[in-house]
Structure 1
Amino acid sequence: MRLALTLSALFVVSTLTAAAVSFLLLSGELAGRHRADAQQMAENLAATYQVAGLPELHAQIATNVITTRDFSNLYLFIDRSGAAVFGNFSVRQPFTGSRDLVAGRDISLVGAPPGIEGQNFAAYGLQIPAGWILTARNTRWIADTRRIVIQTLAWGLGAALALSVLIALWLGRRSERRIARLNAMLDQVAAGNMALRFDYDPGWPDDISRVADAMNDMLDRLGRSVDSLRQVSTDVAHDLRTPLTRLRARLEPLLVRDDLPEGAAQELDLAVAELDTLVRTFNAVLRISQIESGRARPRLDAVDLRQLCADLHEMLLPVAEDQGHRFRFADGTGDMHVTGDRDMLAQAITNLVENAIRHCPDPAEITLALARTGDAVEVSVADTGPGIEAEARDDVFRRFFRLEKSRSTEGSGLGLALVAAILRLHDATINLSDNGPGLRVTVRFGGAHPPDRAAGRDALAAGTNL
């Protein structure tokens, strides 16, 4: 829009400049022609005097005066003494050469109609043996021509300006709509929908079309790369989960034997626990891949989040108390039903609570709360732990991301990635904020998205990337 209006402004400025130059040149040319006409009139009268004498000069001036009663042309003869004056105007002092005269100030008109006072005349004086011949032409025609030219330019430029602004607005609106569609598509791609492409009319090739072509091509290649990486991770997880499960099945009978060497049973317990951790990790990877690829279809039903959160609070309360935390459930008012898969939502909320339990030093206060704002239902998990730095809040939804760089504590970095995938499947948003102290995780279902939706959307997009 700004570019189109800028081009319109440049068009107006350039047109005005060209019109001003043309107007000055035209005015100068017309004034020059009037002076030339006045000189030619004087020279013709001088030629008449030279050929036929003074009587014929008087007769010619009289004829010219009769034929120009509108005073567009003026004629005057003054003898050498200045006493004999003949013509349709008078001057204070005869002159030679070109001059610009004003009626009523420099010259007096004999029998002139009202309104001619103040008009300009291009005059020329020529001295002959008998005296002076003076002629003049009214320049009113130049003023009329200037006025017509200015009016024509004003109307033409106004129409051109209006048309250019309308065209600029139309082009700007059209580009804005296409850019808005492009931004909406990129938002959905950022949220994980890699199948979207920008569709446009190929009959209107322009810069946006070329950018869209390049973007579609980039998304094609990126989609193939993501699909390839996702398939690799899925295949690796699937192929390794089976032998690990078999290995665990072989180790389990050894745990009940009485003839194991001293310390062997404890080492076997640790080995089985590590195998369980690996199997859970691969199960999480497979679950995320299934959700992102669309193979895991949610069973959409009306889910009562109040009852679901109450059940989860009852189930996780002993775990939190064993860790030395206080875990409470804050119920909200109003209807807390949403449409979704109850098992998936339970897994997502459980992961959020378990993260708070695992990463908060005891004693900490953890709150699972429900709230209804308009058409939206919010589930929040707040704690009084160390929290997460603002610059790292988007990264925690990536697969295998760990805040602890040494990765020496328990965990695989897949819990929040699974949460992001589940919430994306339910068209819900997630936002991390400061609890002062600690961290607050807010999940929003339905309704108008809050102002910080972009942060939640970016987090979701980060969680769906391999």
Structure 2
Amino acid sequence: MRPPGSRLRPGAVFFVLLAMALSALAVGLLMVDGIGEAIIGKRQREVAEAARDYFVAFAHEEGLAPLARALDLRERTDPGGGFRYALYAADGRLLGGARLEAREPLPASGAARLDILADGRGSPWRVLVQPLSVGGALVVYEDIGERIAFRRALVASAGVALLAAVGAVLLAALWFNSLLLRRMETLAATARRIADGDLSARTEVHPKGDVFDRLGEAMNGMLDRIEELMTGMRTVTDSLAHDLRSPLTRMRADLARAMQPDLPQDARLDAIEQAHDEADRALSTLSALMDIARAEAGLSRDMMAPLDLAALAAEVGELFAPVIEDAGQTFVAPDPRPALIVKGHELILRQAVGNLLHNAAHHAGQGAVVRLAVEDVPGRIRIVVADTGPGIAPEHRGRVRERFVRLDAARSRPGGGLGLAIAAACAKLHGGALELEDAHPGLRAVIDLPAQSLGRPPPDSVMTAP
């Protein structure tokens, strides 16, 4: 069920885009109008001032009468132009040129805007009055009605072009908005399915690999991890309910037997000791599960620090050598080698290597040879525990790395089936994997780690192992 207020509203998006488009259109038209007017006005003023200067110079050289005849000739040959000229005497009489306006309404000097009736129609004119030193005044008339009409045509054509461009952009924006909503709705639908309890839900990822596909891949990876953790938690819960019930039941039975008042003292102490052993097994199982959970969740990364992996393997091998020899087996320690400084979780690495040696001691059988080695190959670091025992059938090698999995041959021996699970979680914590291989005969258990992720030191920092 979609929560209130979360419904996508394409109509609101449309009106927002429309308002933005209209604003952009208005700004564009204002800019075209303002810039066009400024350019045309500047050009026209330059023309009017140039004509004024020319006729003023003509009057100074030839006099007023020749200038009046020249203006009359121009008026006859080019009537109705955008620029028209008139020459007035000092008393206000028109000496020559355009008969548009009497002298009185005109300014004494400078520019002004007037509405003048010409050719039977009224239109706005800009006049530029220049008094002459030889007497009288020169008037330059500019018909700005044509300029206004041209500006309107320019604005209209620009408006049509801008409207077409804005329309195209608006359609593209609506299409992109629709695409965006569809892709986001896909992600939201996946999230709703997850919220409803369907942990197998995944978002659709297209092969084109755009930003939404990358987001979908990241989301699917996150969901894979969540499902893995949830499945692991359910497995741990179910396994605890199954595997801890027996030791707790036996411990309760032993304690109940120890509480019998008529039980002999030796039998009472024996029952208490058995209950103590059962409590130790339960605590060991819980501790191992906590180690696995912390490693798989990545919570142990904050405890990683540089350590000598070669020295660590040698120390763990020395610790487990007596256990292997007590089992009637031969232990081959790793060869002495220069220090291999890596960044890792020392406690979990020790526990993982120890579990592999412990499993070999328990399952390889008498007379087997158990070897511990550290292999430094290009790009990889491999901690190898190999034995010459019966090994594990290929079809079971995947299962035995899971929690509480014990093969039929091992069910008669004590243990919780967590040794290989801890080693696998340790390898995963360090960015690697636990591999189980055939040793011909026997089993090779390999903690395979990427060397680069462990931060290998440069050659001059390598130390010699003790």
TM over 0.5: no
Q: TM-score, normalised by structure 1?
A: 0.44
Q: TM-score, normalised by structure 2?
A: 0.44
Higher relative contact order (CA 8 A, sep 6+): 1
